């Protein structure tokens, strides 16, 4: 416990929508702090369960610039309900939400270790127990058509993801989904660390993989809501303690 910083400082709203919007702002800053902000590239979206719209950062803003007033609500045809420009690359988020009622948040970033591992077009290996949340739960996608993502590629990305939580996109980046923005955030951080570990292990020798039973046990333990909450709250406290302007925005 950090003393002056309340344990759940961002869960102040009695509205589920407002709570989700606040956690989405925090997610942008958490991922930026973890090195996953990439100038104005990458996107994170979240929706309320069952909603046919989702929320994201205003087009042209970096992760570090996210704030409540600049969040956009976008429909599945990528119209901005709250006004302003929109990033057409969000088409694949809509495709995933349409295909996966269980998914309520999507992170798409280009973190260096994940991009490096994805460029090898090889699977993520269960080398450390943290990465076990992706055990038999992450796919590879290597049909990337270029920077601009249209409807056809959006469908292909969603198809490649299938029922998995994550996707390694060759020559591009990652997609990490979650039933909540909290779960997607934790997954995105864990995936980048797991990719770094795998690259280092492969460079040094032949890594030993977690036995199946251990991987399944770790996956179940680390996927518990309480565990996800604990980690998201921790990262939130760090952002709020280090970034007074974010704390003011969410106060």
CB of 161 to Zn ion, least distance (A): 14
Q: Which of residues 173-202 bind Zn ion (CB under 5 A)?
A: 173
3-state secondary structure of 13: coil
Q: Using the minimum distance from each CB to Zn ion, give the nearer residue, 173 or 187.
A: 173
CB of 172 to Zn ion, least distance (A): 6
Give the residues across from 43 on adjacent strands: 108
Pick the stretch among 70-78, 165-173, 195-203, 231-239 that binds Zn ion (CB under 5 A): 165-173
Give all strands of the β-sheet with 173-178 in edge-to-edge order: 71-75, 53-57, 43-46, 105-109, 173-178, 166-169, 138-141
Burial of 56 (0-12, 13-18, 19+ CB in 10 A): buried
Give the residues across from 38 on adjacent strands: 41
Region class of 206: left (phi > 0), else alpha (psi between -120 and 50), else beta: beta
Q: Using the minimum distance from each CB to Zn ion, give the nearer residue, 141 or 232.
A: 141
Pick the stretch among 171-179, 200-208, 213-221, 222-230 that binds Zn ion (CB under 5 A): 171-179
Pick the stretch among 23-31, 111-119, 127-135, 166-174 that binds Zn ion (CB under 5 A): 166-174
Q: Using the minimum distance from each CB to Zn ion, give the nearer residue, 91 or 197.
A: 91
Residue of 95, 111, 112 lying closest to 45 (CA atoms): 95
Q: Using the minimum distance from each CB to Zn ion, give the nearer residue, 63 or 135.
A: 63
Residue 104 has φ and ψ, to the nearest 5°, of -125, 5
CB of 171 to Zn ion, least distance (A): 10
CB of 32 to Zn ion, least distance (A): 16
CB of 108 to Zn ion, least distance (A): 6
CB of 63 to Zn ion, least distance (A): 13
3-state secondary structure of 94: helix
Q: Using the minimum distance from each CB to Zn ion, give the nearer residue, 39 or 102.
A: 39
Q: Using the minimum distance from each CB to Zn ion, give the nearer residue, 126 or 166.
A: 166
Q: Which residue is nearest to Zn ion (CB)?
A: 173
Residues touching Zn ion, count (CB under 5 A): 1
Q: Using the minimum distance from each CB to Zn ion, give the nearer residue, 173 or 178.
A: 173
Straight-line distance from the first to the last Cα atom of the chain, in angstroms, rounded to the nearest whole number: 19
CA dihedral 37, 150, 177, 84 (to 10 degrees): 60
Q: Please, what is the angle between helix 225-242 and helix 181-204, to 10°?
A: 90
Q: Which of residues 22-41 bind Zn ion (CB under 5 A)?
A: none
Site residues (vs Zn ion, CB under 5 A): 173
């Amino acid at each position: 416990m950090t003393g002056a910083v309340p344990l759940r400082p961002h869960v102040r709203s009695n509205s589920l929508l407002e709570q989700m919007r606040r956690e989405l702002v925090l997610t942008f800053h958490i991922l930026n702090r973890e090195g996953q902000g990439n100038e104005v590239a990458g996107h994170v979206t979240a929706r309320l369960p069952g909603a046919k719209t989702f929320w994201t950062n205003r087009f042209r803003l970096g992760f570090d610039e996210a704030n409540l007033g600049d969040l956009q609500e976008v429909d599945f045809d990528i119209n901005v309900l709250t006004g302003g420009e929109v990033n057409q690359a969000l088409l694949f988020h809509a495709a995933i939400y349409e295909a996966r009622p269980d998914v309520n948040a999507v992170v798409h970033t280009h973190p260096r270790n994940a991009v490096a591992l994805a460029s090898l077009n090889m699977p993520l290996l269960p080398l450390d127990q943290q990465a076990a949340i992706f055990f038999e739960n992450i796919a590879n996608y290597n049909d990337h058509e270029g920077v601009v993502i249209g409807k056809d590629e959006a469908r292909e990305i969603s198809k490649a993801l299938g029922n998995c939580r994550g996707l390694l996109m060759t020559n591009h980046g990652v997609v990490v989904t979650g039933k909540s923005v909290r779960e997607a955030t934790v997954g995105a951080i864990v995936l980048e660390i797991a990719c770094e570990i795998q690259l280092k292990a492969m460079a040094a020798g032949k890594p030993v993989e977690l036995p199946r039973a251990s991987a399944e046990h770790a996956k179940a333990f680390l996927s518990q809501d309480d565990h996800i909450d604990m980690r998201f709250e921790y990262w939130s406290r760090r952002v709020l303690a280090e970034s007074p302007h974010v704390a003011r925005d969410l106060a």
